[in-house]
């Protein structure tokens, strides 16, 4: 294993049980070890996303079957990462110590995190570490949504939750493909959605996009609230609805029941109702890197917080106040 440091401990945010941001604490723990195709990343910044919030709270409860019944098996939260390669396992071939990388590394709210080689890509040259850290999970989800939705030039595409993490990337990716984009957001965030490149904006506090009479070729439903009948009403007869979440789905299964229901109904109608299965891979990140370096996609960083203030960052995210993304700096 190649390495540039012998430090055996590190600062990290840890949690012993599921709950609100109050369960998070700043502590010093053992630095993780690596083997095989694993890479030790010296974390410069980590991103927040709704998935990190779900893993912190343990909701929906179905998640706990995989993550730990009484508490998280990995006590360090965070998954988005941007940093430099500190050490590499013997099977790593694409990266060397000192490379600047970004990607997915469970436990990224710490000075060091471990990532599989296949989950990393070289950091875009035109981004800071804070900007790069807020790209991976949200942008990969958005990329999968426009791919599954088969977004094409000239189509009318509506994106709900357009001011959030996934939505802010979905707007830009749909525009990069040549679509005419309508973004749905709250009053205070409409200016952000316009700045992202949306052709039209809808204030959901004043207008229901499913009741306007407009029909869309593709709807990317990130907010996760409209019923099936309402979504279908806003689609063209052969349009596609892509469901990426479901925050209103309850504590047991979250939005999974809703998504599976859509898939079943889709078998019997002309409209396509489908869902996102995010492929967190370095090769997909490289596709995003090309768009970022070409200026077609730009991360929106709402706020940055130092590592010891990660609980405050999580509260800001949970309150729905974030305009775009939030980053933790180390």
Q: What is the mean pLDDT of the chain?
A: 90
Taking phi over 0 as left and psi of -120 to 50 as alpha, with beta for the rest, 256 belongs to alpha
- Give the pLDDT of residue 252: 41
Could you tell me what percent of the chain has a pLDDT over 90?
73
Average pLDDT over residues 252-270: 60
Q: Is 130's pLDDT higher than 50?
A: yes
Picking from 100, 112, 170, 105, the residue whose alpha carbon sits closest to that of residue 141 is 170
Q: Where are the beta strands (DSSP E) in 244-315?
A: 272-275, 301-306
**Residue 263 clears pLDDT 90, i.e. is over it:** no
Residue 181, helix vs strand vs coil:
strand
Question: Residue 185 pairs with which residues in a beta bridge?
Answer: 203
245-to-104, 258, 261 alpha-carbon distances in Å: 19, 9, 13
Q: Give the lowest-confidence range in 59-68, 205-214, 261-270.
A: 261-270
pLDDT in tens, 93-118: 999 999 999 999 999 999 999 999 99
Judge whether residue 254 has pLDDT over 80. no
Report the pLDDT averaged over residues 239-251. 70
Minimum mean pLDDT range among 11-15, 179-183, 196-200, 257-261: 257-261
Lowest mean pLDDT among 100-114, 226-240, 300-314: 226-240
Better-scored residue on pLDDT, 133 or 70: 133
Beta carbons of 239 and 218 less than 8 angstroms apart: yes
**pTM exceeds 0.85, yes or no:** yes
* β-pair type (156-160, 25-30): unpaired
Residue 224: pLDDT band with limits 50, 70, 90: low
Beta bridge partners of 305: 328
Q: What is the mean pLDDT of residues 220-224?
A: 84
For the chain, the residue count is: 330
Per-residue pLDDT at 5 exceeds 60: no
What DSSP element (H or E) covers 159?
strand 156-160
Among candidates 49, 50, 110, which has minimal Cα distance to 308?
A: 110
Residue range 251-256: mean pLDDT, rounded:
48
Work out the average pLDDT over 141-161: 97
Q: Which residue has the higher pLDDT, 135 or 272?
A: 135
Asked whether residue 193 carries a pLDDT value surpassing 60, the answer given is: yes
Contact 298, 192 (CB under 8 A): no
Residue 62's pLDDT is: 77
Closest residue by Cα to residue 56 from 12, 103, 23, 105: 23
Using 50, 70 and 90 to split pLDDT, how confident is the model at 6?
low
Q: What pLDDT shows up at residue 229?
A: 85
Residues 6+ apart with CB under 8 A from 84: 41, 42, 44, 98, 99, 100, 101
End-to-end Cα separation, the chain, in angstroms:
24
Q: What is the DSSP string of 279-294?
A: ---HHHHHHHHHHHHT
Range name among 134-138, 142-146, 322-326 with the lowest pLDDT average: 322-326
**Mean pLDDT, range 287-291, rounded to an integer:** 97
The predicted model gives 195-208 an average pLDDT of 96
Taking the C-alpha atoms of residue 53 and residue 247, their distance in angstroms, rounded to an integer, is 11
């Amino acid at each position: 294993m190649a390495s540039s440091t012998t430090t055996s401990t590190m600062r990290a945010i840890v949690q012993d049980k599921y709950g609100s941001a109050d369960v998070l604490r700043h502590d010093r723990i053992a630095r993780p070890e690596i083997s095989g195709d694993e890479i030790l990343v010296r974390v410069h910044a980590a991103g927040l996303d709704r998935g990190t919030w779900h893993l912190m709270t343990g909701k929906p409860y179905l998640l706990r079957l995989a993550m730990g019944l009484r508490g998280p098996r990995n006590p360090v939260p965070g998954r988005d990462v941007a940093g430099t390669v500190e050490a590499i396992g013997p099977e790593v071939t694409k990266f060397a110590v000192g490379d600047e990388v970004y990607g997915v590394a469970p436990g990224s709210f710490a000075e060091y995190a471990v990532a599989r080689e296949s989950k990393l890509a070289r950091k875009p040259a035109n981004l800071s570490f804070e900007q790069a850290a807020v790209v991976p999970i949200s942008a990969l989800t958005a990329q999968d949504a426009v791919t599954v939705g088969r977004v094409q030039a000239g189509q009318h595409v509506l994106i709900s939750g357009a001011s959030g993490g996934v939505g802010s990337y979905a707007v830009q990716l749909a525009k990069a493909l040549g679509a005419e984009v309508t973004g749905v957001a709250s009053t205070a965030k409409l200016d952000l959605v316009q700045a992202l490149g949306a052709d039209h904006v809808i204030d959901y506090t004043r207008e229901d996009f499913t009741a306007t009479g407009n029909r869309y070729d593709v709807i990317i439903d990130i907010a996760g609230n409209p019923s099936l009948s309402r979504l279908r009403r806003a689609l063209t007869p052969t349009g596609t609805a892509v469901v990426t979440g479901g925050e209103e789905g309850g504590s047991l299964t979250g939005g999974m029941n809703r998504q599976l229901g859509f898939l079943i109904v889709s078998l019997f109608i002309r409209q396509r109702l489908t869902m996102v299965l995010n492929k967190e891979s370095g090769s997909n990140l490289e596709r995003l890197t090309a768009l970022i370096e070409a200026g077609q996609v730009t991360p929106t960083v709402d706020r940055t917080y130092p590592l010891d203030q990660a609980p405050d960052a999580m509260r800001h995210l949970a309150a729905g106040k974030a305009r775009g993304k939030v980053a933790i700096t180390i």
